[in-house]
Amino acid sequence: MPDMLSEAEALGRIVVWAAQHPLVRAVVLQSSRAVEQAVLDRFSDYDILLVVSDVRPFAEDNAWQRFFAEPLVRFGDAGQVLEIETYARLVLYQDHTKVDYTIWPVELLRRVVERQESTELLDWGYRVLLDKDGLTAGLPAPSRSAHIPPRPTEKQYQALIEEFWWETIYVAKNLWRDELVFAQYNLDVVMRFELLLRMLEWRIELDHDWSWKPGVVGRGLKRHLPPDLWSALERTYVGPEIEQNWEALFAMTAFFRRAAMEVGQALEYGYPVELDRGVSAYLEEVRRLPRS
């Protein structure tokens, strides 16, 4: 792999370009590289907020991205913050530096300052690299809370459990039909990443007094889950054999049961034991059902 630029070199290249570009009015480094004592490695992104006087040239043409190096692969998206259109341009350069640009119009930064409303983008931490017009002077300090999930209400806790057990019946049905792709969608996408992951985040928050920032799609789980829980999670990953996926389904339900009970006990919410027993028995019956 090519030698990577140092952080000082990479940020310096961005600031020099931005200082010479008439439409760029401010540059803000945000996310992990702007946070002291963050764990960084060679794959850590540079999350760069570009505040510009006209977003169209940056949104409609990607040629400007070549100021840093030649792009290898890139992805673009659009969104809204405080009802104002924003753009994301994510770039992996051929020298393997990855820069995630977020493009805001000047109007949006002014609105954030006027309202003193922190945004998710800036709430974990930021560092101003360039400010030609003093636009960032009144930015609210990061609260470091926007990315932390709140304690679930009992209704939310119960709803997640019910949805998890509901989803298990689709896994069972599709395993019986030998529909591996459909079954693994229900097992790995919906149950694992939409439901189990949320329960695990709640479980970890119990040990951190609701101050832990979850990583994207499970990043950091291994460092924060108790070792025996992590080992149990590993057993829910299997290959393409139908019988292996049956084993994974029951490993996942056992794992979810334990995590959900620990969360419920800590929050003094009742776990729906009868629902668990009834659906578990149904799953066993489907597993034993002859295929004709």
Q: Is the pLDDT of residue 74 over 80?
A: yes
pLDDT above 70 covers a percentage of the chain that reads 98
CATH topology of domain 154-288: Four Helix Bundle (Hemerythrin (Met), subunit A) (1.20.120)
Q: What is the pLDDT of residue 142?
A: 79
Residues 32/126, Cβ–Cβ less than 8 Å: no
Q: Cα separation of 191 and 166, whole Å?
A: 10
Q: What is the pLDDT of residue 235?
A: 84
Residues 286/226, Cβ–Cβ less than 8 Å: no
Q: What is the pLDDT of residue 146?
A: 62
Task: Give every CB contact of residue 220 below 8 A, 6+ residues apart in sequence.
Answer: 214
Q: Kindly give the residue spans of alpha helices, DSSP state H, lying in the chain.
A: 7-20, 56-60, 106-115, 120-123, 154-176, 180-184, 197-207, 221-224, 227-234, 242-267, 273-288
Residues 103/59, Cβ–Cβ less than 8 Å: yes
Residues 251/235, Cβ–Cβ less than 8 Å: yes
DSSP for 111-163? HHHHHT---HHHHS-EEEEEESSSTTTTPPPP-S-TTSPPPPPHHHHHHHHHH
pLDDT band at 78 (very low <50, low <70, confident <90, very high): very high
Q: Is the pLDDT of residue 212 over 80?
A: no
Q: Is the pLDDT of residue 217 over 80?
A: no
Digit-coded pLDDT (tens) for 83-92? 999 999 999 9
Q: Is the pLDDT of residue 110 over 90?
A: yes
Q: What is the pLDDT of residue 87?
A: 97
- Position with higher pLDDT, 120 vs 61: 61
If you search the block for the tokens 């609105």, which residue do you land on? 111
CATH topology of domain 7-131: Beta Polymerase; domain 2 (3.30.460)
Mean of the pLDDT values across residues 89-118? 93
The SS3 call for residue 68 is coil
**Domain range summary for the chain, segments of one domain joined by +:** 7-131, 154-288
